[in-house]
Chains A and B, each alone.
Chain A
Amino acid sequence: MKSLEELAKIRERMQNKVVLREGQANIRVAVGMATCGIAAGARPVLNALVEEVAKRNLTDKVTVTQTGCIGMCRFEPIVEVFDGDKERVTYIKVTPEKAREIVEKHLVGGNPIAEYTIGAAEK
């Protein structure tokens, strides 16, 4: 270690990796990962979310987690976004591509993508 900058670089690189252990961040993204979800392809969705969140340096604001079956198996893979006191947003039939879009538009941009939500499907 020849300089403080070197130390700062390691610190920055590693902080993303240990931030998980501070528990849940403000925004929680839950992926339905019961048998129905996994069968419908929830695993690639989960991985896409985790990757995209890390890529955009959102790990201190967004926690990606799993949840069980919420009883709407025909809509799996389901992704729900909980953001503080705001009403939760439920996305259905999510694909890895849609997942990345959700991160970009909803989590970063702050605008839920209405057409992917359960509300749109029930119309």
Chain B
Amino acid sequence: MIRSHVLICGGTGCTSGGSQAIGEKLQKEIDRLGLTDEIKIVRTGCFGLCALGPVMIVYPEGTFYSHVKVEDVTDIAEEHLLKGRIVERLVYKETEGLKMEDVPALGETNFYKTQLRVALRNCGVIDPENIEEYIAMDGYQALGKVLTEMTPQEVIDVMKKSGLRGRGGAGFPTGMKWQFAAGNVADQKYVVCNADEGDPGAFMDRSVLEGDPHAVLEAMAIAGYAIGASKGYIYVRAEYPIAVHRLEVAIGQAREYGLLGNDIFGTGFNFDVDVRLGAGAFVCGEETALLTSIEGNRGEPRNKPPFPANKGLFGKPTIINNVETLANIPQIIMKGADWFASMGTEDSRGTKVFALGGAINNTGLVEIPLGTTLRHIIYDIGGGIPNGRKFKAVQTGGPSGGCIPASLLDTPIDYGNLTRIGAMMGSGGMIVTDDSTCMVDFARFFLDFTVDESCGKCTPCRIGTRRLLELLNKITEGNGTLEDLDKLEELCNYIKANSLCALGQTAPNPVLSTLKYFRDEYEAHVVEKRCPAGVCKKLMRYYIQPDVCRGCTACARKCPVGAISGKVKEPHTIDTNKCIKCGACIETCKFNAIVKK
């Protein structure tokens, strides 16, 4: 009889931290201690607190262990599982030095207490490779309900009424998309799940697939019923091996239980799903390029219209929904459109998952009702900026989005607000930067990415982004002029207006938003030939502070190009014309006399 469940995170983050080996060792220890029939190990999806990984929860106590190592496993098994004594040193205490009795329950920690988990509700709770655990959490009830109690039009009406908008980037109303596809008559229609999550720093779709794959399958079947499709495809990137594996397991189990296939619930409804692997091209996250790729062609976007709802995969009416969008749907069916619409703001209903990354303490996944402010996410849930540094900006929407400065931290996040301030929701990546980031270099980084990922089909994107990158390189190398800033802006607007697909249309956003909010940094690079954050190497000057230098000559001896001179016991100086900025002198100096400016 099982009396205790040990939940070990099997998401990509914790797996790369060694959670697989921890699970195997723990099973061995459990067997050794004769607890095999009493304690069950469950490998779940992501808990969200990736910064603390590998993480483990022991139920029924609800003890949350963080930063677990293989060496800790014996202690956990012998002390906690065998003798019931919690291993205090591994317990996540939120605040350092807290006494055990004051440690908040996991749901009461700052990280979790204001989160509202809808799309992520089963992530970190169930074993994603066991369909019965999903069923225990009311899984496939929604599919049963729509097939036996609702007409397709009723399903679409619920979706429309709920106000759910696409979570992949553009935010198109899901119910409307379904309505268009349902209205078309065709011998075959398709439901496609876009799991080609390509934004650097975004990992919510991966986490849903890894933690709750059946929710996506169930939602696809519901969508199939609503629009009259019997076939679905999940387009997922091959770089997500754990997600792909769990999807395949889930599809296999769903077929075995008759929840995919023919005559589901004896209603005569047929639906099946296949996985298609993407090779990692960013452009394939764009819906028409994704369809082209599934068809077996090179992933390039096509013109819209015709929209996929009219003429999509293999020329048939197709709806394409993002993973997170789908993950919301079974619950909307079960709990009703009003329940969903009661969360969020007028323009954006429901919750949204964000992947917090960059200069932030609690790197991880958070799900909050839309309308929450950025400040709350970054400071209260995210735990603020590490190393005592100052917040500078947050980039939402990855390479397609824009950066948001400190002055706009109190903006409630929803689709409309983010677009108004020049950023965008995107898929939900949130990269936080502190004052050690150069915003010009930051924009350059994203442009570098889009130049690489531009498919080359249309000229504004293929050539325009490259010219943008060249201009940014020129500025970060100290060769920019004020005229270049105007040129940047003009070119950005041109690319936005003329590119074929969303990749090109949004690629200039990082440049435009940094120009808008951090123009002073651009000007410092151009006019003063100085990088205020000390990042741009070509603009960096090494400088010896005369009042700190003891004249020990260590740096002069270390300098590979002989740029440092000075008499013994007297302050030295660096000849900036000779200096190659290798940094060897800084490492050598025992008195911290050398600074980068």
Chain A's interface size range is 35 or more
Q: Which residues of the partner chain A approach B144 to less than 8 Å between Cβ atoms?
A: 4, 7
A21 to B137, CA, bound (A): 11
Contact A18:B133 (CB < 8 A) given known A2-B266, A4-B265, A68-B84: yes
Which of A18, A35, A50, A68 is the one whose CB lies under 8 Å from B38?
A50
Which of A2, A11, A25 is the one whose CB lies under 8 Å from B135?
A11
A52 to chain B, nearest CB (A): 9
- Whether A20 lies near B5 (C-beta < 8 A) is yes
Q: Which residues of the partner chain A approach B83 to less than 8 Å between Cβ atoms?
A: 33-35, 38, 66, 68
Contact A4:B60 (CB < 8 A) given known A14-B132, A18-B126, A68-B84: no
A64 to B148, CA, bound (A): 40
- Whether A20 lies near B1 (C-beta < 8 A) is no
Of B1, B5, B61, B62, most A-chain CB atoms within 10 Å: B1
- Whether A21 lies near B5 (C-beta < 8 A) is yes
A64 to B105, CA, bound (A): 18
Which of A2, A20, A68 is the one whose CB lies under 8 Å from B265?
A2
Main secondary structure of the interface of B (DSSP, over half): loop
- Total number of B residues with any Cβ neighbor in A under 8 Å: 37
- Whether A14 lies near B258 (C-beta < 8 A) is no
Q: Which residues of the partner chain B approach A57 to less than 8 Å between Cβ atoms?
A: none
Question: A46 on the interface (CB 8 Å rule)?
Answer: yes
- Whether B1 lies near A54 (C-beta < 8 A) is yes
Shortest Cβ distance from A49 into B: residue: B3
Shortest Cβ distance from B86 into A: residue: A68
Contact A17:B136 (CB < 8 A) given known A1-B259, A4-B148, A4-B265: yes
A34 to B82, CA, bound (A): 8
Could you give, for residues 254-270 of chain B, a 1 whenever the CB lies within 8 Å of some chain A CB and a 0 otherwise? 00011100011110000
Question: A111 on the interface (CB 8 Å rule)?
Answer: no
Question: B587 on the interface (CB 8 Å rule)?
Answer: no
Question: B138 on the interface (CB 8 Å rule)?
Answer: yes
- Whether A7 lies near B38 (C-beta < 8 A) is no
Question: B125 on the interface (CB 8 Å rule)?
Answer: yes
Q: Which residues of the partner chain B approach A46 to less than 8 Å between Cβ atoms?
A: 3, 38
Which of B85, B107, B136 is the one whose CB lies under 8 Å from A14?
B136
Q: Which residues of the partner chain A approach B5 to less than 8 Å between Cβ atoms?
A: 20-21
Q: Which residues of the partner chain B approach A14 to less than 8 Å between Cβ atoms?
A: 132-133, 135-136
- Whether B257 lies near A1 (C-beta < 8 A) is yes
A84 to chain B, nearest CB (A): 16
In chain B, residues 81-96, which have Cβ atoms closer than 8 Å to a Cβ of chain A?
Answer: 82-85
- Whether A68 lies near B85 (C-beta < 8 A) is yes
Of A23, A24, A32, A47, most B-chain CB atoms within 10 Å: A23
Binding site for B on A (CB under 8 A): 1-4, 7, 10-11, 13-15, 17-18, 20-21, 23-25, 30-35, 38, 46-47, 50-51, 54, 63-68
Given A7-B144, A34-B84, A47-B3, 16 further pairs, Cβ under 8 A: A2-B258, A2-B265, A4-B144, A7-B141, A7-B265, A10-B136, A11-B136, A17-B2, A17-B136, A21-B125, A24-B61, A30-B84, A33-B82, A34-B83, A54-B1, A68-B84
22 residue pairs A–B, Cβ–Cβ below 8 Å: A1-B264, A4-B265, A7-B135, A7-B265, A11-B136, A17-B136, A20-B5, A21-B5, A21-B125, A23-B62, A23-B107, A24-B61, A38-B83, A46-B3, A47-B38, A50-B3, A50-B38, A54-B1, A65-B60, A65-B61, A65-B84, A68-B84
